[in-house]
Amino acid sequence: MFHRNNTYSHRTFIDERRRMKKLLVTVQLEMDAPDTWNLVEHPDDVQAIKLEDGRFMYMSFLPMFTTDANAGAEWSSECTDAFSDEILDMVADEEVLMKFEP
DSSP assignment of 32-68 equals: ---TT-EEEEETTTEEEEEPTTS-EE-------B-S-
Q: For 32-79, how does the pLDDT look when each residue is reduced to its tens digit (9 = 90+)?
A: 999 999 999 999 999 999 999 999 999 988 889 999 999 999 999 999
How far is it, in rounded angstroms, from Cα 47 to Cα 39? Answer: 7
pLDDT in tens, 40-50: 999 999 999 99
Q: What are phi and psi of 39, to 5 degrees?
A: -80, 135
Per-residue pLDDT reduced to its tens digit, 79-90 = 999 999 999 899
Does the pTM of the predicted model rise above 0.75? no
